[in-house]
């Protein structure tokens, strides 16, 4: 399956997952679907039959509330049955709203309390190096609003100082957060410049352009002693008109029968 088709499948399965609960983190799940499609089509060296295999690429979805999009991706890749998607947030589920590494096959790190993912990824990246694994990477997807959490910059400083060139940060730069536009809530200026100031090599791409994203990730996988950051310009709620038009309030919203049917009709 091409990444393009795969991203449509991810969005459909994401909405199936959210619809099973009737609501959830719609906007940020849809904005990150293309990044997940490109990563899992072209880059992630993982084995659905052996998700904890030591020699593997790892993903930290630091914006853990996009768990449903990750679950959709992992189910489609065969890490677990598709019908698990209908168990979101039900008592005893393996698919909690925010990703948890102890529960879900293919989830490499817990996230949800924003700002911790890059630091955890640094630990995973040190672990890869300590095991002598020079062929695998740790990908971290952060939100843009999430970068208001100061710990991200502790992690960035550390990754650079310790030459963690096996870390690739992807910023889902959808420019919205719960209380509104990031630039109005607490503006972060030029994200690329910020990461560069912390010692990263950076690039900026259309986060819904699969070819551009694929190329950017290929470029980021050059082992040159520095960590890499890709700022992905995205649209929160991407792919479903009602959610795109909702703006910041699509962060956590309903997926009722009518909305679900409309979304599926658009996601062909």
The dihedrals phi and psi of 180, each to the nearest 5 degrees, come to: 140, -155
Closest to another protein by CB, 42 or 53: 53
- CB of 56 vs another protein, minimal distance in Å: 11
Residue 10 or 109 having the CB closest to another protein: 109
Does 119 bind another protein (CB under 8 A)? Our answer is yes
Antiparallel, parallel or unpaired: β 58-61 and 138-143: parallel
Q: Is 169 in the site for another protein (CB under 8 A)?
A: no
> Which of the residues 190 through 229 are near another protein (CB under 8 A)?
none
Please give the Cα distance from 4 to 183 (Å, whole number).
30
User: Who contacts 166 (Cβ-Cβ below 8 Å, separation ≥6)?
Assistant: 125, 128, 129, 134, 136, 137, 138, 223
- Minimum CB distance to another protein, residue 232 (Å): 23
- Rounded to the nearest 10 degrees, what angle do helices 3-21 and 257-266 cross at? 180
DSSP 8-state secondary structure symbol assigned to residue 42:
I
Query: What is the per-residue binding string for another protein in 11-50, x denoting contact by CB under 8 A?
Result: ----------------------------------------
User: Within 13 Å of residue 79, how many CA atoms lie on the same side as its CB?
Assistant: 24
- For residue 245, state whether it binds another protein (rule: CB under 8 A): no
Interacting residue ranges for another protein, rule: CB under 8 A: 54, 100-102, 108-110, 112-113, 115-116, 119-128, 130-131, 151, 154-155, 157-158, 161-162
């Amino acid at each position: 399956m091409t990444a393009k088709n795969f991203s449509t499948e991810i969005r459909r399965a994401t909405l199936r997952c959210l619809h099973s609960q009737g609501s959830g983190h719609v906007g940020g799940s849809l904005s990150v679907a293309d990044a997940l499609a490109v990563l899992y089509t072209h880059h992630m060296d993982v084995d659905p039959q052996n998700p904890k295999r030591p020699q593997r690429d790892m993903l930290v979805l630091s914006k853990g509330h996009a768990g449903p999009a990750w679950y959709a991706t992992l189910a489609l890749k065969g890490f677990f049955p598709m019908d698990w998607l209908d168990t979101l947030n039900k008592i005893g589920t393996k698919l909690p709203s925010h990703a948890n590494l102890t529960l879900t096959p293919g989830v490499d790190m817990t996230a949800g309390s924003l700002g911790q993912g890059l630091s955890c990824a640094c630990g995973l990246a040190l672990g890869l190096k300590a095991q002598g694994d020079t062929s695998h990477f740790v990908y971290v997807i952060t939100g843009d609003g999430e970068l208001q959490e100061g710990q991200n910059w502790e992690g960035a400083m550390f990754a650079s100082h310790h030459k963690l060139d096996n870390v690739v940060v992807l910023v889902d730069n959808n420019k919205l957060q719960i209380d509104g536009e990031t630039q109005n809530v607490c503006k972060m200026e030029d994200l690329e410049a910020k990461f560069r100031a912390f010692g990263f090599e950076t690039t900026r791409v259309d986060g819904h352009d699969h070819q551009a994203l694929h190329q950017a990730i290929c470029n980021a996988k050059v082992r040159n002693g520095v960590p890499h950051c890709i700022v992905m310009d995205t649209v929160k709620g991407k792919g479903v008109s009602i959610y795109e038009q909702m703006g910041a309030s699509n962060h956590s919203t309903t997926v009722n029968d009518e909305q679900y049917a409309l979304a599926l009709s658009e996601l062909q």
